[in-house]
């Protein structure tokens, strides 16, 4: 646990009961038996992520990160094969240190840290994903010339930059 005290997930949303989370997990094919604070954080985080339109891999990964930081025992779903979770953890610990210097109230630190992690997963997870999918397609000369004008050192960089412009 990286926070100064252990928190329960209701610091983020006190309207969601453990019974509801357990039922939701079962209905959504998430194999978590909520028996301690780590599993409750993991289940809540996945519920929160899916409710806010994140994909299942990102939700499971964030569940691991949050349960590690907020309860001390990360509930891994083996998502580290898709996402560089160790790098995310280092990033989040740096943010936690910043928050500790910014706020004296640990409750505010905890809520802001959760929000920061969620924002990272919602808006920047592609920076932490392993690039293992390959796209192959053909374009005409004029389209290729326009594509090559996009900022980026490689075609992959150019394509990522194009997608970022489209989806932001």
What is the residue range of 68's domain? 9-127
- pLDDT score for 66: 93
In a domain, residue 4? The reply is no
Under a CB-based contact definition with an 8 Å cutoff, are residues 46 and 34 in contact? no
**Band (45; pLDDT cuts 50, 70, 90):** very high
Residues 161 and 103 in one domain: no
- pLDDT score for 50: 95
Number of domains in the chain: 2
With a pLDDT cut of 70, the percent of the chain lying above it is: 92
Residues 51 and 77 in one domain: yes
- pLDDT score for 1: 47
Average pLDDT score over residue span 119-147 = 82
How do residues 28-43 score in pLDDT, each as one tens digit? 999 999 999 999 999 9
CA atoms within 13 A on the CB side of 165: 9
In a domain, residue 2? The reply is no
Please return the burial class of 78, using the count of CB atoms within 10 Å of its CB with bins 0-12, 13-18 and 19+. exposed
Tell whether the model's pLDDT for residue 73 goes beyond 60. yes
pTM confidence score: 0.77
């Amino acid at each position: 646990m990286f926070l100064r005290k252990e928190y329960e997930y209701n610091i983020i949303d006190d309207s969601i009961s453990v019974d509801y989370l357990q039922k939701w997990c079962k209905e959504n094919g998430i194999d978590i038996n909520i028996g301690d604070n780590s599993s409750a954080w993991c289940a809540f985080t996945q519920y929160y992520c899916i409710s806010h339109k994140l994909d299942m891999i990102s939700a499971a990964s964030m569940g691991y990160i949050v349960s590690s930081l907020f309860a001390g025992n990360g509930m891994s779903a083996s998502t580290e094969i898709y996402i560089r979770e160790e790098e995310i953890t280092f990033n989040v610990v740096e943010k936690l240190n910043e928050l500790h210097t910014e706020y004296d109230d640990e409750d505010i630190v905890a809520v802001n840290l959760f929000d920061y992690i969620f924002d990272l997963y919602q808006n920047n997870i592609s920076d932490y994903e392993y690039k293992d999918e390959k796209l192959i397609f053909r374009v005409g000369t004029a389209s290729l010339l326009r594509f090559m004008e996009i900022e980026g050192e490689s075609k992959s960089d150019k394509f990522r930059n194009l997608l970022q412009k489209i989806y932001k």
